[in-house]
Amino acid sequence: MIVLDSLPLPPRLLAGLLPVLALAAACLWTSPAAADFRLCNNTASRVGIALGYKDAEGWTTEGWWNISSRSCETLLRGNLVARYYYIYALDYDRGGEWSGQAFMCSRDKEFTIRGTENCLARGYDRTGFFEVDTGEQRAWTVQLTEANEQPAQKVPGMPGGVAPGTPAVPGLPNPPGGTPPGASGLPPAAPPGSKQ
């Protein structure tokens, strides 16, 4: 018989309590690592973020996340649903943008837009996003940096990893985007840096 605080527990109560204690202990020891898509703003400015991705239902763009200087925000929670994600960022304080050649729909106010076709005809802006290749990792963090900062170095074996944990996206305006948009399934792109 197990004794707690010098009071014996009846066998019937003990039989019901042991499975509950075992389950609670298992939950404490097997907590999963966070698997999210995050963005860290490592600049001296406030930034606005729009995000594009393709899931089981097709292309979606969402915005705006407003991220303070030197802070991070989780844009999507849970395991990543795609290999490629697309970001457009605005520097609210000093002007400029982080953009690319993957054109998707956006608008000035908060939005969730399905599809990337006929943005203007549907009443949206056509905006150039830059591509982020997550390499099919479960979690990823993007770091926005100032134009004069050097990108962090890749740390092998770390998901989405560079010290301290993520790839840097250097520079304002229009940093390099990586793989051409056509390689990952996006429609053909217009000239870089143009907002149509």
Number of domains making up the chain: 2
Query: How far apart (Å, rounded) are the C-alpha atoms in residues 96 and 108?
Result: 15
For the chain, the three-class secondary structure string (H helix, E strand, C coil) is CCEECCEECCHHHHHHHHHHHHHHHHHHHCCCCCCCEEEEECCCCCEEEEEEEEECCEEEEEEEEEECCCEEEEEECCCCCCCEEEEEEEECCCCCEECCCEEEEECCCCEEEECCCCCCCCCCEEEEEEEEECCCCCCEEEEECCCCCCCCCECCCCCCCECCCCCEECCCCCCCCCCCHHHHCCCCCCCCCCCC
Cβ atoms 178, 83 nearer than 8 A:
no
**Residue 15 shares a structural domain with residue 44:** no
pLDDT of residue 147: 67
**Residue 117 shares a structural domain with residue 154:** yes
pLDDT of residue 15: 54
**Residue 148 shares a structural domain with residue 85:** yes
**Residue 45 shares a structural domain with residue 109:** yes
pLDDT at 167 over 80: no
Query: How far apart (Å, rounded) are the C-alpha atoms in residues 85 and 166?
Result: 14
> Does any domain span residue 88?
yes
**Residue 55 shares a structural domain with residue 80:** yes
pLDDT at 18 over 80: no
pLDDT of residue 177: 34
Q: Is the dihedral of CA 185, 191, 105, 97 positive or negative?
A: positive
Query: How far apart (Å, rounded) are the C-alpha atoms in residues 111 and 50?
Result: 9
pLDDT at 178 over 70: no
Q: Name which residue leads in pLDDT, 85 or 15.
A: 85
**Residue 47 shares a structural domain with residue 3:** no
Domain that residue 8 falls in: 1-31
CB neighbours of 41 closer than 8 A, spacing ≥ 6? 47, 67, 68, 69, 70, 71, 72, 73, 144
pLDDT of residue 12: 59
> Average pLDDT for residues 123-132, to the nearest whole number?
96
> Average pLDDT for residues 8-30, to the nearest whole number?
49
pLDDT of residue 86: 96
**Residue 12 shares a structural domain with residue 83:** no
Cβ atoms 36, 76 nearer than 8 A:
yes
